[in-house]
Amino acid sequence: MDHIIEYNLDLGKTKPDNVHHSMDYCPFCDVEHLTNVMDRQGTMIWLENKYPVLKNTWQTLIIETDQCHADFSNYTLDYAIKLIQFSLEKWQLVKNMSRFKSVVFYRNHGYMSGGTISHPHSQIVGFENYNYHDDIKPYHVTGLPVLTEDGIDITVSSHPIIGFYEINLHLQDPGHLPDLVNYMQRTAIFLMHCFYSYNDSYNIFFYDFPQDDSIYIKMVPRFLTNPLYVGYMISQVPNQEHLQQFIQKLYHALKQRKD
């Protein structure tokens, strides 16, 4: 990976941050003063990012709900499905613009996830000079099987991007999107409440690949980044015994009835 994105620190310092600092004000709750809104569906709002800190990109946000302390894991299934449908439509719209080499779609949750606003939202960013497919390959979003159903595969990465436990969801048939969203929510619940007692953070990343109509999703619990990755870009995987235990626990979490 040799591509560098310039981050505008002068602008970045002005961004509100209620994840790492105590703030009474939430800009995403102050809907009346939002600017550059491009579309709305109920309480979902797609708008341009007020703080475009990444050079040669177009940064947009989807405010997912008017509930400031909600999370994707505890939306009703019907609402979560509508949200993912709305978001995928906007991702595709930006991908269809000829000005971008690639477009990423992701969301953060929690203190360690890299976000600065706790209000539930996701981001769609178009890169004018960078194609993420140069670095991210299909083998990064496949791995050891956890669950396979019609149109959906769920795996744990055998070639993770950053290391350890990366859960991949592969949607081959768009008709099974509701089932996929259901499993996304169950995975989020698993990461937040069943995986590790101190985990309160995760990311969701969406991927597409040329000549492949599938949608790939990676869900990653977030902790301090391992120094071997920071210094040498060495990704690690757990030993087989622990990995198999993780797969079994995840499988049971995916198959149990959702409360």
What lies within 8 Å, CB to CB, of 184 at 6+ separation is 72, 80, 84, 169, 204, 217, 219
pLDDT category of residue 210 using cuts at 50, 70 and 90? very high
Coil vs helix vs strand at 57 = strand
Percent of the chain with pLDDT over 90: 77
Average pLDDT over every residue of 221-247? 91
> What DSSP assignment string belongs to 26-53?
-TTT-GGG--SEEEEETTEEEEE-S---
Percent of the chain with pLDDT over 70: 94
Res 117: pLDDT: 85
> How far is Cα of residue 109 from the mean position of the Cα atoms in its chain?
9
Give me the chain's average pLDDT, please.
91
Residue extents of the structural domains in the chain:
9-133, 136-255
Asked if CATH classification 3.20.20.70 holds for the domain at 9-133, the reply, yes or no, is: no
Res 218: pLDDT: 98
Q: Angle between the 177-193 and 77-95 helix axes, to the nearest 10 degrees?
A: 110
**Residue pLDDT, tens place only, 15-68:** 877 666 666 789 999 999 999 999 999 999 999 999 999 999 999 999 999 999
Name the least confident of 110-124, 139-153, 183-197, 216-230.
110-124
- Which CATH topology does 136-255 take? HIT family, subunit A (3.30.428)
Res 94: pLDDT: 98
Amino acid found at 158: S
Would you say the C-alpha torsion 174, 49, 122, 78 has a positive or negative sign?
A: negative
| Intrachain domains 9-133 and 136-255 with the same fold | yes
Average pLDDT over every residue of 231-259? 89
* Bridge partners of residue 148, in order along the sequence: 153
pLDDT category of residue 225 using cuts at 50, 70 and 90? confident
Higher per-residue confidence, 29 vs 195:
29
